[in-house]
Amino acid sequence: MILALREARAVLGRRAIRLALVVTVLAVLIGTTRVYSGTLDLSPSLFALATSDDQSRYIALIAAAMLGAEAGGLWHSTLRSSYSWVAGSSITQQTLQRVSTGFVLGVLCGIIYWLSRVVGSVITIIGSGHDLVLRDAGLVPIDSSAVWRLLVACGLAAATGALIGTATRRPLAAVAGSFVLFGSLLPIVGSFAARVPAIVSIQSFAPGGALTTLLESNAGISKASGLIALRSPRSAFGGAAVLLSWCAVLWVVSTFDTVLRSSSTSVSSRLRHTGLAGVGVIVAIALVLPPLAREALPWHLQPSWLEAKSRHASSIDVVKSFVASVSHGRYPVGLVPPKGIDVSDPFWAPLIQGAVVIGPQREMSSPSSVPVVATVRTGSRHTTVGYSFDLEPQGRSWRLRKVNGAVLRVVNGHTG
Amino acid sequence: MPQKHGVQPIESWLARPRLEATLLGPGWRFSALTVMIVGGLGGIWPVAALGASGSGVFAAFVNGCTATATASLIWLPPIAFLCIGRDTELGVRAIEISLGLGPRGLQARGWWNLYGLAFAAMLVGGFAGVVGGVVTNVSAPGRFSVGLVGSVGAAQSGAALSALIVVALLCGSLVEILGDRRSSLIAIWGTQLLTLALLSVLYFAPTLAFAQYLSPWIGIWPLRASSSMSPLFSSQLSYGAGGVALAIWIVAIRIVAAIMTPRRVSLPSSKERQE
């Protein structure tokens, strides 16, 4: 812990870091005062105003992640890794130290955020001519757990950022990488999501989205304040699982990279690290690929269709039952004919008299439209009639909605 | 009285440097990662791409093993070289020679290591499939079970296992013939790429169908026109014709290997050993 604090102080000593923190504070101050200065008709308490929910907390999370990334990347560029190696620290110990440094920096970033919020709230209240009350039941809802939850979130974001820095080994690349991975929290991404819905799915599995899910769903907050309506996973457990998976993958990548660059020839350590890398890749693929791939599956590979087929309750099975019932002049139990269908109508005669081919599935463009072809032979004359059965889902089965029919072709004479 | 630091049995002593030589050699990391990723995809595939509502744990293991064995064309060649073609790195061969193993013994040990590692890799792929299957059940919740629901059939698993055995045999034989690493890998992967190129144009130029027999890999090619959704990259040979072609190729390659291998393994004479 002392090492982490010392390392955090060294990181904060850099001019770029201080500049980034100043920019963050200014952004929070401006954001807080701008949001509330025009809307304070009543006099809220300082605590309620400072902890109220707004979008500036995402700025704090992104800043924390970038700060952690800078710390993780600096580790290599300032030769601290070499000092640790000389001091006898193992790769795991070094990585743990970087993660704890990132966590400390993140919590520090969160504290600065809350202080900025308090200052901004004081300016807002006094500037709007109200009395300064520390704690009172105002109109703005008080979320007492928001303070420590944001601190933890900033710590986790910075720890993840430190792992990104460890994996990339360059401060600039680490900061850019963490901005890409956490930048989905920015309001502008929400406006893109309206046009490209897939962003919502991707956002849910990005570290920033996972962090938001972890903190704001199932956690007792009055309302989820995510800028983007997260679809999956929605539970705090899911968010934690996604975030931990990211951390595991980043850890494995950084460890694997370190091993590749080291001169160690230990067989067991190489095996272990390669195994960890493989498992990390598999977990990442298994978390991301199946939900996205399932949505992209064609209709005949969707689980609902396969399940209906296994129960013989697909639209093709319903049409088969209907055609069989028309042929036999009666309907099976449970099959209700559509209104207005009269099986004595000549329209249905080819289905009764001819050779009928239903489907097949590969010729269907959707499950709600089943083609049926009936070929009637009268002497040397072959008449082919095509039907299109339109159906609509009803519970776990399908219901006939409309049937269209037309003569496709008439062939005179014997066919080869 | 048991010795704490006594002499280890020759077998375990021999196995360890061989394993180390294999695992420290070039290309093993590629093979290991490929095995794990392919095995993991085998566990993920039924839910992600085939619309299965869930995958059983044992099914994921079977699917992982099957996928790994099917993809052995990709990951096995580097291991084949490390087991059979690597001669004197780290002095392993020297150790074995000094312990009195003859050319046949050395050859048998190389093949034993190759098949041992190939089957171990298949099992690793199976466990990777379990990891992929279990995590998939979390990310895409469905019908979770422990059994074989969602696994490939016994025929497909058996075919994949046969392919693994044959690929190991062909790769090991080609390494025996060619000797050095670069030539072996170029020959093995190059002929696979040529097979792929031929099968990609076969749909548009059916007259080239006879050329399929010129590839040693055609008998174990995983994509078949009769069972594949797309004719692209699929072999149009029947299983019988493919099997016959494969058998002829194996016999021919083994004959060449049997002729060429003794020239490469030259043991020192008893006089040289004494010196």
User: pLDDT (tens digit, 9 = 90+) per residue, B176-193?
Assistant: 888 777 788 888 988 888
Please enumerate residues of A whose Cβ is less than 8 A from a Cβ of B.
233, 241, 265, 267, 270-271, 274-275, 277-279, 281-283, 285-291, 293-294, 297, 301-303, 305-307
Q: Give the integer Cα–Cα distance in Å for A334 and B196.
A: 53
The lowest-confidence range among A43-52, A276-285, B62-71, B211-220 is A43-52
More confident residue, A47 or A225: A47
Alpha carbon distances (Å) from A201 to A153, A230, A289, A295, B212: 21, 8, 11, 10, 44
Q: Is the pLDDT of residue B209 over 80?
A: yes
pLDDT band at B36 (very low <50, low <70, confident <90, very high): very high
Indicate the domain borders of chain A. Answer: 2-259, 305-412
What is the rounded average pLDDT of the residues A9-23?
Answer: 64
Cβ-count burial B235-244 (b if 16+ within 10 Å, e if not): bbbeeeebee
Assign B194 to helix, strand or coil.
helix
More confident residue, B263 or A144: A144
For A273, the closest chain B residue by CA position comes to: B29
Q: Is the pLDDT of residue A137 over 50?
A: yes
Contacts of A263 in chain B (CB under 8 A): none
CB B68 within 8 A of CB B121: yes
Most trustworthy range by pLDDT among A137-151, B48-62, B252-266: B48-62
Q: Give the integer Cα–Cα distance in Å for A92 and A272.
A: 13
Task: Look at residues A342, A51, A343, A347 and name the one whose alpha carbon lies nearest to residue A221.
Answer: A51
Indicate the domain borders of chain B. Answer: 16-274
For A195, the token pair is 């046009």
pLDDT at B1: 40
Task: Look at residues A182, A162, A160, A305 and name the one whose alpha carbon lies nearest to residue A245.
Answer: A160
From the options 1.10.3120, 3.40.50, 3.10.450, 3.10.100, give the CATH code of A305-412. Answer: 3.10.450
Alpha carbon distances (Å) from A380 to A139, A410, B84: 87, 11, 72
Asked if the ipTM is above 0.90, the reply is no
**pLDDT tens string A39-76:** 555 566 777 767 766 667 777 888 888 888 888 877 66
Per the omega criterion (within 30 degrees of 0), is the bond before B268 cis? no
- Closest-CA distance, B139 to chain A, in angstroms, reads 5
More confident residue, B70 or A227: B70
Instruction: Say what percent of chain B tops pLDDT 90.
Output: 27
B139 touches chain A (CB under 8 A): yes
Cα of first residue to Cα of last residue in chain B, in angstroms, is 37
Among A289, A304, A311, the residue to mutate for chain B (most B Cβ within 10 A): A289
For B194, the token pair is 């040529």
More confident residue, B225 or B110: B110
Q: Is the pLDDT of residue A168 over 50?
A: yes
Nearest 10 degrees: Cα torsion A177, A182, A188, A191: 120
What is the rounded average pLDDT of the residues A190-201?
Answer: 59
Nearest Cβ partner for A290 among B39, B47, B131: B47
Q: Is the pLDDT of residue B4 over 50?
A: no
Q: Give the integer Cα–Cα distance in Å for A162 and A181.
A: 13
pLDDT at A225: 37
Q: Give the integer Cα–Cα distance in Å for B131 and A279.
A: 8
CB contact under 8 A, B23 and A271: yes
Q: How many CB atoms lie within 10 A of CB A158?
A: 34
Assign A411 to helix, strand or coil.
strand
Using DSSP bridges, classify how beta strands A355-358 and A381-394 pair: parallel, antiparallel or unpaired. Answer: unpaired
- The set of long-range contacts for A144-147, using a CB threshold of 8 Å and a minimum separation of 24, is A144/A51, A145/A219, A145/A220, A145/A221, A146/A51, A146/A53, A146/A221, A147/A51, A147/A114
CA gyration radius, chain A:
32
Nearest Cβ partner for A290 among B19, B37, B44: B44
Kind plus residue range of the DSSP H or E element containing B185 = helix B181-202
pLDDT at B170: 93
pLDDT at B2: 42
pLDDT at B87: 57
Most trustworthy range by pLDDT among A7-21, A385-399, B10-24: A385-399
The lowest-confidence range among A49-63, A238-252, A253-267, B106-120 is A253-267
What is the rounded average pLDDT of the residues B197-220?
Answer: 83
Contacts of A287 in chain B (CB under 8 A): 135, 138-139
Most trustworthy range by pLDDT among A37-51, A84-98, A342-356: A342-356
CB contact under 8 A, A290 and B50: no
CB contact under 8 A, A282 and B140: no
The lowest-confidence range among A115-129, A270-284, B17-31, B110-124 is B17-31
For A412, the token pair is 């005179």
For A286, the closest chain B residue by CA position comes to: B136
- Closest-CA distance, B5 to chain A, in angstroms, reads 21
Q: Give the integer Cα–Cα distance in Å for A78 and A84.
A: 12
Tell me the whole-structure pTM to 2 decimals. Answer: 0.56
B120 touches chain A (CB under 8 A): no
- Closest-CA distance, A373 to chain B, in angstroms, reads 25
Q: How many CB atoms lie within 10 A of CB A390?
A: 15
* φ, ψ dihedrals at A376, nearest 5°: -110, 135
Which residues are CB-neighbours of A317 under 8 A, at least 6 positions away?
Answer: A308, A309
Contacts of A302 in chain B (CB under 8 A): 51
CB A279 within 8 A of CB A245: no
Which residues are CB-neighbours of B267 under 8 A, at least 6 positions away?
Answer: B97, B102, B103
Across the beta sheet with A355-358, the strand order is A355-358, A369-378, A381-394, A397-412
Instruction: Say what percent of chain B tops pLDDT 70.
Output: 76
CB contact under 8 A, A275 and B32: yes
User: How many residues would you count in chain B?
Assistant: 275
Task: Look at residues A210, A10, A206 and name the one whose alpha carbon lies nearest to residue A104.
Answer: A10
pLDDT at A251: 82
pLDDT band at A153 (very low <50, low <70, confident <90, very high): confident
Q: Is the pLDDT of residue B173 over 60?
A: yes
Q: State the amino acid at position A77 in one-letter form.
A: S
Q: How many CB atoms lie within 10 A of CB A36?
A: 21
Q: Give the integer Cα–Cα distance in Å for A387 and A341.
A: 14
Q: Give the integer Cα–Cα distance in Å for B106 and B97.
A: 8
